Amino acid sequence: MTRSFHLVVNPHAGGGRGARVAADVAAALEAHGCRVRSTISPGTEAADDLVARTAADEVCVAVGGDGMVSSIAGPAARRGVTLGIAAAGRGNDFVRQLQIPKAPDELARTLVHGEVRAVDAISVGDAVVVGSVYAGVDSRASELVNRMHRVPATLQYPIGAVRAMATFPVTAYRVTVDGVEHTFDGFTVVAANSGYYGKGMHIAPDADPRDGLLDVVLLGAGSKLKFLRRLPQVYRGTHTENDEIVVLRGAEVRIEADGVQAYGDGEPLAPLPVTATVLPGALRVISPGPLPAPDPGVEQGAPR
């Protein structure tokens, strides 16, 4: 049976790439004989209504960046709607984790022939996040990146990271993971469902979005210059070998600190404290192939 698709488009994603990506993907899907229609999203506040317009026999395809995907994911999970993703943002880190192709022809083949798989998400209050929740120097970087309208996309995240590290103070954190409290002085806490954030930084290299757990990365205090020099390690995922990094795992994470704003997938969530809770298997996402198997040495969450 040929799939039908409802493309929900953020036309402003990626500096205005959203509409072009949607047109290219729609054309590629139609070449496969699929029925396709598109709706322009007026903003994240309309996500629930847009997902509700998706017919029972349609796949809802979020065309935009990670923030757009997260805004659609919540209503899709509540309504049991199958989700497709067409990367059109600046970061596109969730599709990187799921290995979903970006080229329109390859993406169309994935959407038509790929498998529907259960994938975890994160709940923070009323919000749903697909990638990660973070609070510290990286949320400051996201704030700066969101203001960079004239900086080339390839430079926005590196520049944001450097500027944020230069100005963000060492902060006293209290982090509670599944009821166990941890306190430390440092620069950020990341509760990761997906391993990537910040346009390809492999912040949680062992994160698996189907294991029912969040990887909680604590970046402790240290030399800012040293951290900046180690930034390439974050892209490679080798930074967790450093003494300043602690990685915990759990299903519920409470993050507390004074004067810090939490972000999720590049979008502001709320000032701390916040509680991030994993939603095991909440999303039905079309992806091209088997996801990496969970580490058998790690205790898994509740079975789905």
DSSP states along 242-256:
STTEEEEEESEEEEE
In a domain, 299, yes or no: no
In a domain, 229, yes or no: yes
Please, which residues have CB within 8 angstroms of residue 49's CB and are 6 or more apart in sequence? none
**pTM for the whole thing?**
0.89
Pair 55, 189 in one domain: no
Judge residue 184's burial from the number of C-beta atoms within 10 Å of its C-beta, 0-12 exposed, 13-18 middle, 19 or more buried. middle
User: CA of 252: how far to CAs of 122, 137, 164, 273, 297, in Å?
Assistant: 9, 22, 27, 13, 20
Over residues 275-290, the mean pLDDT reads 92
Pair 176, 247 in one domain: yes
Pair 136, 47 in one domain: no
In a domain, 270, yes or no: yes
Shortest CA distance to 87 belongs to which of 33, 43, 24, 132? 24
- Tally the C-alpha atoms within 13 A of residue 215's C-alpha that lie toward its C-beta: 26
CATH number assigned to the domain comprising residue 64: 3.40.50.10330
Tell me how many degrees the CA angle 127-130-134 measures, rounded to the nearest 5: 75
Pair 143, 234 in one domain: yes
Q: Which among 114, 139, 164 is the end of a domain?
A: 114
Pair 147, 262 in one domain: yes
Q: Residue 175 and residue 246: Cα distance in Å, rounded? A: 12
Q: Residue 186 and residue 8: Cα distance in Å, rounded? A: 39
Q: What would the two tokens of residue 200 be?
A: 């390809």
Query: How would residue 151 be classed by pLDDT, with cut points 50, 70 and 90?
Result: confident
Is the predicted pLDDT of residue 158 greater than 50, yes or no?
Answer: yes
Pair 53, 132 in one domain: no
In a domain, 286, yes or no: no
Over residues 143-159, the mean pLDDT reads 83
CATH number assigned to the domain comprising residue 263: 2.60.200.40
Domain range for 197 is: 128-280
pLDDT one-digit tens code per residue, 182-239: 999 999 999 999 999 988 999 999 999 999 999 999 999 999 999 889 889 999 999 9
In a domain, 304, yes or no: no
Pair 198, 95 in one domain: no
Q: What would the two tokens of residue 244 be?
A: 């300043």
Pair 210, 262 in one domain: yes
pLDDT one-digit tens code per residue, 113-130: 999 999 999 999 999 999
Percent of the chain with pLDDT strictly greater than 70:
94
Pair 274, 139 in one domain: yes
Is the predicted pLDDT of residue 291 greater than 70, yes or no?
Answer: no
How many domains does the chain fold into? 2
Is the predicted pLDDT of residue 163 greater than 70, yes or no?
Answer: yes
pLDDT one-digit tens code per residue, 76-116: 999 999 999 999 988 899 999 999 999 999 999 999 999 99
Pair 8, 34 in one domain: yes
**DSSP category for residue 72:** H
pLDDT one-digit tens code per residue, 51-85: 999 999 999 999 999 999 999 999 999 999 999 99
Pair 89, 153 in one domain: no
What stretch of H or E contains 280? strand 274-287
Pair 156, 274 in one domain: yes
